[in-house]
Amino acid sequence: MRKILLLTIFFISLVSIKAQTLEELKSEQSIKKNSISALQSKVDDLQDLIDALPGWKIKAFGTIGGSLSGFDNWYSQGTPNNSSGSIGFTVNANADLLQDKFFWKNALTLNLKWVKLDDKDDPTDKDSFESTTDVFNISSLYGYKLNEKWAVSALAEYRTTLLDNFNDPGFLDLGVGVTWTQIADLVVVIHPLNYNFVFSNKDAIFESSLGAKIVAYYTKKIGAVNFKTNLSMFQSYKSSNLSNWTWTNSFSYTFWKNIGVGFDFGLRNNKQEALNYAINTLGDATATFDNVDNHLQTYWIFGLSYSF
């Protein structure tokens, strides 16, 4: 009986010591995490100071997503014998020159994707990859600083597709106005004098016009997270049918070296593109600016990311 009592006391002591040790370790771990968080905050503050120094600042990150699959005699699905796949990637790059009296900011957004579905039982279907996402946007902004908040600026922005119908349509904005730069990493462009050149073989649909241009973009790196959002709006003075806007967003989280996961999505509204699609793709000869279905355009991509 005495031995049993001693053994019981021994095991209770071991459990108590283990529990105490576990709590001590968790407490020490919490302190270390708080220290790491405080150090990371200081590192981010130093990075902001470095980014504010004169000279060239170059940043780039992107997302890659893809899959391949093959099926043979998989009768439970509508196409039992097929091979399919998809691959897509995005690139977000900035090259900025910062000086005491002026700045020159350049940005590139590229988003391409291809998919295929080869039905092995249908010899007439396509067995190659076809493009489904095709986004190309490049801009260059020059500003002469009036003070720390405002600058007189000039902007050139061009967007089109690369894989299908290059420069048909293509949109080129050239304008002047002012740029607000009060907040670090945030740029707001307000150009009341802007000409929107539209290049296309369908002159009856696409038309260039004078209007106002507003651009706002924010690029930030916080620890392992990269983030970029860009809003570009054109308001035509001639007709609202010629106005358009595009909003793109990119996120990436790095979990090992420069590799991580990324997510991109974009929204667009362009009535000229909607009318062109209705007439030349759907074959609707009765479509006009007054009756066309101008649905919101969207895209998204999720996959592995790589930060440069």
- Strands (E) in the chain, as ranges, are 55-71, 82-98, 102-119, 130-145, 150-160, 170-180, 186-199, 209-222, 225-236, 244-256, 259-270, 297-307
By mean pLDDT, which of 28-37, 90-99, 155-164, 295-304 is the weakest? Answer: 28-37
Averaged pLDDT, 224-240: 92
Averaged pLDDT, 91-95: 89
Nearby residues of 7 by Cβ (< 8 Å), 6 or more positions away: none
Averaged pLDDT, 170-195: 94
The reported pLDDT for the residue numbered 16 is 60
| 69 and 195 housed in the same domain | yes
| 135 and 119 housed in the same domain | yes
| 41 and 84 housed in the same domain | no
| 40 and 78 housed in the same domain | no
Per-residue pLDDT at 200 exceeds 80: yes
The rounded distance, in Å, linking the Cα atoms of 268 and 278 is 17
Averaged pLDDT, 58-65: 82
| 36 and 131 housed in the same domain | no
**Averaged pLDDT score across all residues of the chain:** 84
Q: Residue 98 half-sphere exposure, CB side, CA atoms within 13 Å? A: 14
Q: End of a domain among 34, 51, 68?
A: 51
| 264 and 241 housed in the same domain | yes
Q: Which residues of 12-31 are buried (b: 16+ CB within 10 A; e: fewer)?
A: eeeeeeeeeeeeeeeeeeee
Comparing 61 with 286, the larger pLDDT belongs to 286
Q: Which CATH number fits the domain that encloses residue 69? A: 2.40.230
Residue carrying the six token digits 């609707």:
284
| 39 and 96 housed in the same domain | no
Per-residue pLDDT at 73 exceeds 80: no
Terminal-residue alpha carbon distance, the chain: 70
CA dist 281 → 277, 287, 298 (Å): 5, 12, 18
| 284 and 192 housed in the same domain | yes
User: Which of these, 168, 241, 173, 160, lies nearest to 200 by C-alpha position?
Assistant: 168
The reported pLDDT for the residue numbered 27 is 74
The reported pLDDT for the residue numbered 207 is 92
By mean pLDDT, which of 12-26, 61-75, 111-125, 166-180 is the weakest? Answer: 12-26
* 3-class state of residue 169 by DSSP: coil
Q: How many domains would you assign to the chain?
A: 2
Domain that holds residue 36: 1-51
User: Please, which pLDDT band fits residue 289 given cuts at 50, 70 and 90?
Assistant: very high
Q: Burial, 229: exposed, middle or buried (Cβ in 10 Å; 0-12, 13-18, 19+)? A: middle
By mean pLDDT, which of 27-31, 59-63, 251-255, 265-269 is the weakest? Answer: 27-31
The rounded distance, in Å, linking the Cα atoms of 49 and 192 is 32
| 11 and 103 housed in the same domain | no
Averaged pLDDT, 268-291: 91
* pTM score of the predicted model: 0.77
| 69 and 215 housed in the same domain | yes
User: Please, which pLDDT band fits residue 155 given cuts at 50, 70 and 90?
Assistant: very high
The reported pLDDT for the residue numbered 102 is 93
Q: For residue 203, report the phi and psi dihedrals to the nearest 5 degrees.
A: -65, -20
User: Please, which pLDDT band fits residue 42 given cuts at 50, 70 and 90?
Assistant: low
By mean pLDDT, which of 47-51, 195-199, 248-252, 253-257 is the weakest? Answer: 47-51
The reported pLDDT for the residue numbered 80 is 83
| 40 and 65 housed in the same domain | no
By mean pLDDT, which of 16-20, 54-58, 186-190, 236-240 is the weakest? Answer: 16-20
Per-residue pLDDT at 190 exceeds 90: yes
Q: For residue 181, report the phi and psi dihedrals to the nearest 5 degrees.
A: -130, 35
Per-residue pLDDT at 17 exceeds 70: no
The reported pLDDT for the residue numbered 18 is 54
Q: Which amino acid belongs to residue 86?
A: S
* 3-class state of residue 251 by DSSP: strand
Q: How many residues does the chain have?
A: 308
| 127 and 265 housed in the same domain | yes
The reported pLDDT for the residue numbered 45 is 62
The rounded distance, in Å, linking the Cα atoms of 281 and 164 is 13
